[in-house]
Amino acid sequence: MKLEILSTEKAPAAIGPYSQAVKCGNMLFCSGQIPLDPVSGEMVTGEISLQAERVMTNIAAVLSAAGVGFDDVIKTTIYLVDMADFAAVNEVYGNCFPGHKPARSTVAVKSLPRGALLEIEVIATL
């Protein structure tokens, strides 16, 4: 299968040797998004809900660049530095999936790139 690298300026540029997303067949594999503002390159700070909103906006931009949306997401993984943030992140996350609910894993981690408190990755169908 042919792989196609996907990139959009509406989401933060990769901060390492990876792509924002890769198309493979009818699947889209999106790299994890942290709460980076794509314009300033700065981390969104403040309440975890604000950071979660930035993450979901970044994911929406990557999905849109591939011509799909949250309705096409089939699997997500959420990484949290503090599981006490689960409820607030879950509320923001849930607003992006009012219809179908993709399969999901939530994992507590010790730390994330650039000191982020959360990271979310998604897999979607095309």
- 119 confidence band (pLDDT: 50, 70, 90): very high
Which residue type does 105 have? S
pLDDT at residue 15 tops 90? no
**Could you tell me the pTM of the whole model?**
0.96
Please, what is the average pLDDT of the chain? 96
- Over residues 65-114, the pLDDT tens digits come to 999 999 999 999 999 999 999 999 999 999 999 989 999 999 999 999 99
Domain 3-125 of CATH type 3.30.1330.40: yes
Can you give the residue ranges of every domain in the chain? 3-125
Beta-carbon contacts of 113 under 8 Å, excluding residues fewer than 6 positions away, are 15, 16, 34, 119
